[in-house]
């Protein structure tokens, strides 16, 4: 008869390893918000404070909450099997997100939840586990008095305890801030990370933040400031071209492909053009945007099917996949990466071939107009105060085309160069 040993993993060794999965602050926060959305929340409030060097962060929702047994299960690592069939709207997969996302940023995780007006709370403290390595996986059950003793949530706990349902995820002992021991630097780093998280959330959950038929909209705030959806396809602009939708099937599951060609520089204001360029610019932000249950998983990639080129930089393609295809698309724990199976890659390559000419057409037409406009004068000649003054024609097609390819700071540098050239010429004006 085979002989077996029941070997329990070392709690602190396993947890410290899980902390290094690779979450950033923004992906960790988004992972926690996935749970809130899956619980049916209509509002999610993120609160944070530097707290004189003891920073904390809390995510509060008005979702369905959890019972005592449910929150205990949720705090268990690997609380669900990724191979199990999930509800259609479920944004989770591995049963790890709450823990791994939280531990990647903090050493103390507290979850306070209400369901049917009953409150339950659990806490993991990695320092306690480290100090008592032989005690195993001891999860702290908090009493109502201990909950009310958490000073970080003083301002919200009374209101929360009066609700029918909801959940608070509280991070304390945030130990991953760079320059944490330098005066003022840790606080600046925290503010910077939250600002990046804001942009990430506005993009990742833009389809939840926007009203859509048959779907209730979601409200998300950070320290009381409500976020606005950022739709990377700019569909509300009449100059955006929405190309024909296509559908492909894998294991009888539908994958929807919706291509867009964003407006050319000359069709929108400078502010709008720069907004949709993003920090990385149009060249880097072209490509596929993969959504799983309306939640953005990965953005601006052609999956190495074609290179990113200047002539296709306005082309962005939305891909919608169901959560039933997670294993085939290799959705990772952080829900920040995906890779299509080979059969889908072949079909995507054909779709790219069919649509990329329409993305290039915008620039081909502009290029033709530029070639036709070589007779446009490069200089403006002005008679003033008895002098003939020459200035650069800043509306010349060659200059405007160059501006389109530059980011905001580079455009300002171009302006400075043109002004310098004009000043050199003005010193040689003809009397």
Give tens-digit pLDDT for 128-181.
Answer: 988 887 777 889 999 999 999 999 999 899 899 999 999 999 999 999 886 555
Higher pLDDT pick, 302 / 21 = 302
Give the residue from 176, 193, 226 where a domain finishes.
Answer: 226
Q: Provide the mean pLDDT of the chain.
A: 85
- The answer on 203 and 92 residing in a single domain is yes
Within a 10 A sphere around the Cβ of 265, how many other Cβ atoms?
20
Residue 418: predicted pLDDT: 82
411 lies in the same domain as 383:
yes
Same domain membership, residue 178 and residue 125: yes
Does some domain include residue 2?
Answer: no
Looking at residue 176, its pLDDT comes to: 86
Within 8 A by CB and 6+ apart from 260, the residues are 233, 234, 235, 240, 241, 242, 243, 315, 316, 317, 318
On whether the pTM is more than 0.85, the answer is no
Scan for tokens 């360029």, then name that residue.
Answer: 277
- Sign, Cα dihedral of 268, 269, 275, 279: positive
Which residue range(s) make up the domain with 62? 11-226
Mark whether 357 and 394 lie in a shared domain: no
Of 226, 260, 289, the domain-final residue: 226
Least confident range of 102-116, 272-286, 417-431 = 417-431
**Domain assignment present for 337:** yes
More reliable by pLDDT, 214 or 105: 105
**Angle at the Cα of 33 (from 106 to 248), degrees rounded to 5?**
125
Residues 277 and 364 in one domain: yes
**For residue 105, is pLDDT > 90?**
yes
Tell whether 420 is covered by a domain. yes
Nearest-angstrom CA–CA distance, 1 and 126 = 40
Whether the Cβ atoms of residue 430 and residue 384 lie closer than 8 Å to each other:
no
Stretch 339-359: mean pLDDT: 88
Report the Cα–Cα distance between both ends of the chain, in Å, rounded: 109
Domain boundary among 226, 250, 272: 226
**Whether residues 218 and 128 fall in one domain:** yes
Task: Give the model's confidence band at 305: pLDDT under 50 very low, under 70 low, under 90 confident, else very high.
Answer: very high
pLDDT for the residue numbered 427: 45
How many domains are contained in the chain?
3
Q: Is residue 235 part of a domain?
A: no
Q: What is the pLDDT of residue 387?
A: 57
pLDDT at position 92 is 47
pLDDT above 70 as % of the chain = 85
- CATH number of the domain that residue 245 is part of: 3.30.230
pLDDT of 374 higher than 60: no
């Amino acid at each position: 008869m085979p002989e077996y040993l029941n070997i329990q993993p070392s709690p602190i060794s396993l947890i410290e390893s899980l902390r290094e999965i690779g979450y950033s602050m923004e992906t960790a926060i988004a992972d926690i918000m996935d749970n809130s959305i899956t619980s049916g929340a209509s509002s999610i409030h993120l609160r944070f404070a530097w707290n004189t060097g003891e920073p904390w962060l809390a995510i509060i929702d008005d979702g369905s909450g959890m019972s005592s047994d449910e929150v205990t299960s949720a705090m268990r690592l690997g609380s669900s099997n990724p191979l199990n069939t999930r509800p259609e709207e479920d944004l989770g997969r591995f049963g790890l997100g709450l823990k791994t996302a939280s531990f990647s940023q903090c050493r103390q995780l507290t979850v306070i939840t209400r369901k049917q007006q009953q409150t339950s709370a659990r806490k993991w403290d990695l320092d306690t586990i480290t100090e008592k390595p032989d005690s195993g996986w001891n999860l702290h059950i908090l009493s109502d008095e201990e909950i009310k003793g958490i000073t970080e949530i003083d301002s919200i706990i009374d209101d929360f305890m009066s609700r029918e349902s909801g959940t608070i995820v509280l991070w304390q002992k945030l130990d991953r801030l760079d320059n944490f021991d330098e005066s003022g630097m840790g606080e600046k780093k925290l503010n910077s990370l939250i600002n990046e998280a804001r942009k990430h959330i506005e993009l990742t959950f833009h389809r939840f933040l926007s009203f859509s038929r048959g779907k209730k909209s979601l409200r998300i705030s950070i320290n009381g400031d409500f976020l606005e959806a950022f739709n990377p396809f700019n569909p509300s602009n009449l100059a955006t071209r929405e190309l024909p939708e296509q559908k492909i099937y894998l294991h009888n599951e539908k994958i929807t492909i919706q291509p867009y060609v964003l407006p050319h520089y000359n069709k929108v204001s400078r502010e709008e053009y720069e907004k949709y360029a993003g920090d990385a610019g149009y060249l880097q932000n072209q490509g596929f945007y993969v959504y799983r249950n309306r939640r953005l998983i990965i953005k601006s990639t052609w999956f190495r099917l074609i290179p990113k080129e200047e002539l296709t930089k306005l082309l962005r393609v939305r891909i919608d996949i169901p959560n039933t295809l997670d294993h085939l698309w290799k959705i990772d724990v952080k829900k920040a990466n995906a890779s299509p199976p080979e059969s889908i890659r072949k079909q995507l390559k054909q779709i790219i071939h069919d649509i990329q000419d329409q993305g290039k057409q915008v620039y081909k037409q502009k290029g033709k107009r530029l070639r036709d406009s070589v007779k446009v004068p490069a200089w403006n000649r002005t008679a003033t105060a008895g002098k003939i003054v020459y200035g650069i024609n800043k509306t010349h097609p060659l200059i405007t085309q160059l501006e389109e390819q530059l980011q905001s700071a580079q455009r300002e540098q171009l302006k400075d160069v043109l002004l310098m050239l004009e000043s050199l010429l003005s010193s040689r004006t003809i009397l």
